[in-house]
Amino acid sequence: MPLETISLEDISFHLTEMLDVKRLCSRDRFSEHDEAVFDAVLKTAEQIAGDLFAPHNQKADQNEPTFDGEKVHIIPEVKDALAAYIDAGFMGIQHDYDVGGMQLPASVAMSCSAIFNSANVGTAGYPFLTIGASNVLRTYGSDEQKHRFMEPMIEGRFFGTMCLSEPQAGSSLSDIKTQAVPQDDGTYRITGNKMWISAGEHELSENIIHLVLAKVPGGPAGVKGISLFIVPKFLVNDDGSIGERNDVSLAGLNHKMGYRGTTNTLLNFGENEGAVGYLIGEEHKGLFYMFHMMNEARIGVGLGAVSLGYAGYLYSLEYAKNRPQGRHPDGKDPTSDQLMLIEHADIKRLLLAQKAAVEGGLALCLYAADLVDDENTSPNEKDRAEASLLLDTLTPVVKSWPSEFCLEANKHAIQILGGYGYTRDYPVEQYYRDNRLNYS
């Protein structure tokens, strides 16, 4: 059975009919684009996702990354898929032309993200985190930091992470213990441990740029004393070349129930003299800066949940159309033809519940992305302020509602396949496991 993961027709409907995305082309930032450009970008995403992401989704899940004590090993298909992603320009999809970006609207960028997530959320995790980290640097980094770290991320040479949680603190960021000690040369020495760091170690890129929350000694207690630092895996020389290994080491891989294709790590910073870190912005404002990435990630998590729910819906819909089983309640003749599953009332109920969740969730997420575009580019100051206020209100909903109800959609997909749905021979059990990570 062909593995359809998300409907490009539905995405185009939302962008064209619901959001009227072509209106953005009248704004200065998007004036060089038109609907034909948007369509071409979406079709390119669909082709790369279908040809290179989807085929190894199950293989990456069943052959998760391993660590031999020196290097992390990942199946080669991941790097091949990401190379095509990078070559097509998706790593810089929202960035400015002058730094090598495509300068496309957030609504179009998020639509492409939905396509890649539905095809293979494990492989899509690497660019998702890199794009988020590069957007933080674009907004709060210095010109030198943008040139040294952000631009290579847009080129796809460097990947990125966000390092918040710690083994003893979990999501209680006021209790983090990672320290950042100022040095005479303006850098900081970072010491501490970070847990649950997705994409924290791999050989997929020349370098990994960690955005690390840490406390400067003598600062305020709790979250008011948190600062944000760039801590590269390898130091970067003034000419842009890769320097010596920074004092960042992999302590071990975590093995999670889903997203198995994305490395999940425990990282040690400063086992020797301390990892070299570069302050972003001002001291003690790190949580404010990181919330830029976290809020973007919240929309991304909601969209990822929709994507996985959508993939499960389409698979179970096709299965129900082609799987004969049972007869009408009043059909007493055992020699009569069986009905297709989709003709049974309870199967219709499950399919309609999935359809409502995934199509409604997609509409919600793309609406939020459109608010990002209005917040950033509307020519009217009042409209920008209203979009910002509404986005602040909706962001928790965008993260939480799809994460709950699209997970239910994945549960329904398993139910429709019956016993087969619980086996690894079919993709719906993996969609459920992957999506369960979004529901937290």
CATH number of residue 222's parent domain? 2.40.110.20
Q: What is the largest CA-CA distance in the chain?
A: 88
Rounded distance between C-alpha atoms, residue 189 and residue 183, angstroms = 7
Position 109 in a domain: yes
Contact, 259 vs 434, CB < 8 A?
Answer: yes
Residue 1's pLDDT is what? Answer: 46
The total number of structural domains that make up the chain: 3
Same structural domain, 22 and 95: yes
Residue 290's pLDDT is what? Answer: 82
The arithmetic mean of pLDDT across residues 80-105, rounded, is: 97
Phi, psi of 179 (to 5 degrees): -110, 150
Q: What share of the chain is helix, strand, coil (3-state, %, to 5)?
A: 55, 15, 30
Question: 91-105, 217-231, 239-253, 328-342: which has the minimum mean pLDDT?
Answer: 328-342
Q: What is the pLDDT of residues 328-376, one digit of tens each?
A: 877 778 888 889 999 999 999 999 999 999 999 999 999 999 999 999 9
Pairing between β-strand 158-163 and β-strand 207-215 as defined by DSSP bridges: parallel
Same structural domain, 216 and 349: no
407, amino acid identity: L
Whose CA is closest to 261, among 50, 13, 107, 74?
Answer: 74
Residue 109's pLDDT is what? Answer: 96
Position 100 in a domain: yes
Same structural domain, 269 and 347: no
Residue 271's pLDDT is what? Answer: 96
Please, which residues have CB within 8 angstroms of residue 57's CB and are 6 or more apart in sequence? Answer: 119, 120, 122, 123, 261, 427, 430
Q: 425 by DSSP, 3-state: which?
A: coil
Same structural domain, 378 and 422: yes
Phi, psi of 59 (to 5 degrees): -65, -40
CATH assignment of the domain containing 361: 1.20.140.10
Same structural domain, 124 and 170: no
Share of the chain above pLDDT 70, in %: 99
Same structural domain, 299 and 176: no
Same structural domain, 302 and 383: yes
Same structural domain, 274 and 306: no
Position 2 in a domain: no
Single residue among 285, 301, 329 that ends a domain in this structure: 285
219, amino acid identity: G
Please, which residues have CB within 8 angstroms of residue 400's CB and are 6 or more apart in sequence? Answer: 302
CA 275 to chain centre: 27
Q: Give the end-to-end CA distance of the chain in Å, rounded to a whole number.
A: 32
Single residue among 285, 310, 333 that ends a domain in this structure: 285
Contact, 129 vs 199, CB < 8 A?
Answer: yes
Phi, psi of 267 (to 5 degrees): -110, 140
Single residue among 268, 285, 302 that ends a domain in this structure: 285
341, amino acid identity: L
Residue 170's pLDDT is what? Answer: 80
Position 143 in a domain: yes
- pTM value is 0.95
Residue 118's pLDDT is what? Answer: 97
Contact, 281 vs 140, CB < 8 A?
Answer: yes
Residue 346's pLDDT is what? Answer: 96
Q: Which DSSP letter does residue 339 get?
A: P
Position 274 in a domain: yes
Domain span including residue 261: 160-285
From residue 331, alpha-carbon distances to 231, 328, 416 in Å are 68, 5, 21
Same structural domain, 32 and 142: yes
Pairing between β-strand 264-269 and β-strand 248-253 as defined by DSSP bridges: antiparallel
Same structural domain, 167 and 154: no
Query: At 77, which helix (H) or strand (E)?
Result: helix 76-87
Share of the chain above pLDDT 90, in %: 90
Same structural domain, 40 and 115: yes
Nearest 5 degrees, angle CA 214-CA 215-CA 218?
A: 165
What sections of 233-380 are H helices per DSSP? 286-322, 345-377
For residue 2, is pLDDT > 60?
Answer: no
Beta-ladder partners of 72: 67
Tokens of residue 106, six digits: 């957030």
CA 349 to chain centre: 31
Position 342 in a domain: yes
Q: Which DSSP letter does residue 246 get?
A: P
Q: What is the pLDDT of residues 368-426, one digit of tens each?
A: 999 999 999 999 999 999 999 999 999 999 999 999 999 999 999 999 999 999 999 99
What sections of 104-150 are H helices per DSSP? 106-119, 121-140, 143-145
- Mean pLDDT, the chain, as a whole number? 95
Contact, 122 vs 60, CB < 8 A?
Answer: yes
Please, which residues have CB within 8 angstroms of residue 88's CB and are 6 or more apart in sequence? Answer: 44, 45, 48
Total Cβ atoms within 10 A of residue 234? 17
Contact, 190 vs 235, CB < 8 A?
Answer: no
Position 355 in a domain: yes
Rounded distance between C-alpha atoms, residue 76 and residue 71, angstroms = 14
Q: What is the pLDDT of residues 184-226, one digit of tens each?
A: 999 999 999 999 999 999 999 999 999 999 999 999 999 999 9
Q: Which DSSP letter does residue 161 get?
A: E
Contact, 132 vs 160, CB < 8 A?
Answer: yes
Rounded distance between C-alpha atoms, residue 118 and residue 113, angstroms = 8
Same structural domain, 18 and 154: yes
Position 380 in a domain: yes
For residue 293, is pLDDT > 90?
Answer: no
Count how many Cα atoms sit within 13 Å of the Cα of residue 225 in the half-sphere of its side chain.
15
Q: What is the pLDDT of residues 148-185, one digit of tens each?
A: 999 999 999 999 999 999 999 888 898 999 999 999 99
Please, which residues have CB within 8 angstroms of residue 217's CB and are 6 or more apart in sequence? Answer: 179, 181
Task: Give the torsion sign (CA, 423, 428, 434, 440).
Answer: negative
Query: At 244, which helix (H) or strand (E)?
Result: strand 242-245
